[in-house]
Structure 1
Amino acid sequence: MLKTIKLLAIILALGLCIPERGVIPVKNATAKDWNSQSFWFSPWGKSGVHKGVDIFAKSGTPVMASTSGLVVYTGNIEMGGNVVAILGPKWRIYYYAHLDSIHTHSLSWTSRGELIGAVGSTGNAAGKPPHLHYSVLSLVPYPWRFS
């Protein structure tokens, strides 16, 4: 049991040490293509807050992995439409939603800048301007950041 705990602690520590070095996930996007203040903007969706950043682009614009990692999910969900979730450095999940198409598959390794999908308006973005909903979620709790 002690060996297992030590091994898990080492794996956790190694994951936290990997540098992130992210890139903007939408090809040719600039800071003008999204509002960085919109992350916790209200009202968005059923939860009352918008837990991500929307990067607007033409439908079909390539979406690249913002960082290297393991693709843990690809598929279609009600609110996100066509989505990709990647487990990356620092034990973070990188979530890409409203994709027109998906160009990767679950349990594959993806490198930073690799094509994973295309901008769209699927899920609850149907009928709205095409965009990528991009979120970064930590699997490691940071209690001192709670308010």
Structure 2
Amino acid sequence: MLEAQRQLTDAQGLAALLAAELDAAAGRFEHANAHRLRLEVDLDEGKERLVALRDAADDAHERFAAQVETAYKHPHMRLALAGANGNAPDARTALHRAGLLERLAVVQRDQADLAGAQAQAYAEAVTQVAVIGSGARGATADSKEMADALTSELAQARHAVEQADQAVGVAQTHAAERLAAQRREAEEAKARQRVAAAAAARAARLMAQPPPGAGGGPLPPVDGKVCPLGTPNGFIDSWGFPRSGGRRHQGVDMFAAHGTPIYAVADGRIARVFNNRLGGLSINLVDTAGNRYYYAHLSATHVTTGQQVRAGDHIGANGNTGNARTTPSHLHWQYHPGGGPPVNPFPLAAALCR
């Protein structure tokens, strides 16, 4: 019995350690992914600016060419050019032609300066876009590396918890065998039988309790609510982080191994079970107080629309369906108090799952 209790305590300590490590890994992935998305936005804006600068440079060049062509087509300018070798009929005509040539030179110089400035701005923008593009490629590689690392850590954490569960199970089996031996001995002596039976009953109740959240069910409830995701899991406060398409994150992403149990957070009703492009396989749960909870990216569901559930009921399995198919498996979880707009669910998730 003492060995089983020790194994149980070790398993609970391991669960806490794994949760901290997975929180950190989830944080690294979330920040790397957010940095990648911000650089992609900067790159798109830089490319749009390149197009605008190229158009401006082309326009300046066309205006320069048009003004030169107009100047050369002007009758007085042709005369000025024709007389540039000094064969003007008189001094007044020579001065007039010289003035025309000077104005043409000014026009050409101003337009050439404008075209040069536009070309310089375009060259600088090309360099800037190249720098941003290089950063975006690096950020994409970093994000993939963090995603792969998080997936690996989730698998390792799940394996560690399974081993801990197995060790607890072995200790419980050994304890049960010892209790059975005590019962057999108690049959030989009525005086010992009463003591052994009482001890066996107390130990049996203790051994029948699995480690909280370690594959045997959800974590213990807090004020009537339970953690919506089985352990081990990892998450951070990612409310407001950038998401694809210019969106902002309106929930908490709770990372866990694929297939980890999903639980009803509170007593209530399954308002809807559905599948969509972003959330994939999803569940809306409304509790008895009218609060709505949105579960997304599930790999499986075990409830139907309209079904009544109790806090801790197994309603689905963790996955990466919808637009999460390129990310590690996780539960996107939203909290809508009173059925209204979503609020940051991290404080509630932390209170229930940590």
Whether TM-score is above 0.5 comes out as yes
Q: Alignment identity in percent?
A: 33
Using the alignment, how far apart are the partners of 2:340 and 2:257 within structure 1?
36
Q: How does 1:64-83 map to 2 (within 5 A)?
A: 64-83=263-282
Q: Alignment RMSD, CA only?
A: 2.0
Residue type of the partner of 2:254? Answer: I
Superposition deviation, residue 91 in structure 1: 1.5
Which residue in 1 is equivalent to 2:255?
56
1:40 aligns with 2:243: no
Which residue in 1 is equivalent to 2:325?
126
Q: Secondary structure at the match of 1:124?
A: helix
Q: How does 1:81-120 map to 2 (within 5 A)?
A: 81-120=280-319
The higher radius of gyration belongs to 2
Using the alignment, how far apart are the partners of 1:45 and 1:110 within structure 2?
34
Superposition deviation, residue 45 in structure 1: 3.6
Superposition deviation, residue 47 in structure 1: 5.3
Q: Secondary structure at the match of 2:312?
A: coil
Residue type of the partner of 2:316? Answer: G
Which moved further from structure 2: 70-79 or 21-30?
Answer: 21-30
Using the alignment, how far apart are the partners of 2:340 and 2:300 within structure 1?
32
Give the number of the structure with larger relative contact order, counting CA–CA contacts within 8 Å between residues 6 or more apart. 1
Which moved further from structure 2: 63-72 or 132-141?
Answer: 132-141
Which residue of 15, 21, 28 corresponds with 2:231? Answer: 28
Q: 1 or 2, which has the higher strand percentage?
A: 1
Using the alignment, how far apart are the partners of 1:47 and 1:105 within structure 2?
33
Q: Secondary structure at the match of 1:39?
A: coil
Using the alignment, how far apart are the partners of 2:228 and 2:333 within structure 1?
8
Which residue in 1 is equivalent to 2:335?
136
Residue type of the partner of 1:65? Answer: A
Superposition deviation, residue 48 in structure 1: 2.2
Using the alignment, how far apart are the partners of 1:85 and 1:45 within structure 2?
23
Which residue in 1 is equivalent to 2:217?
none
- How many positions carry a matched residue from both structures? 120
Off by >6 Å, runs of 4+ in structure 1: none
Using the alignment, how far apart are the partners of 1:103 and 1:115 within structure 2?
7
Which residue in 2 is equivalent to 1:16?
none
Q: 1 or 2, which has the higher helix percentage?
A: 2
Using the alignment, how far apart are the partners of 1:69 and 1:47 within structure 2?
34
Using the alignment, how far apart are the partners of 1:79 and 1:140 within structure 2?
20
Deviation string 1:89-110 (CA, Å, 9 cap, x unpaired) is 4321111000000110000001
List gaps (5 residues or longer) in structure 2.
Answer: 1-222, 342-354
Q: TM-score, normalised by structure 1?
A: 0.74
Which residue in 2 is equivalent to 1:12?
none
C-alpha distance 139-59 of structure 1, shift in aligned 2 (>3 A): same
Residue type of the partner of 2:268? Answer: G
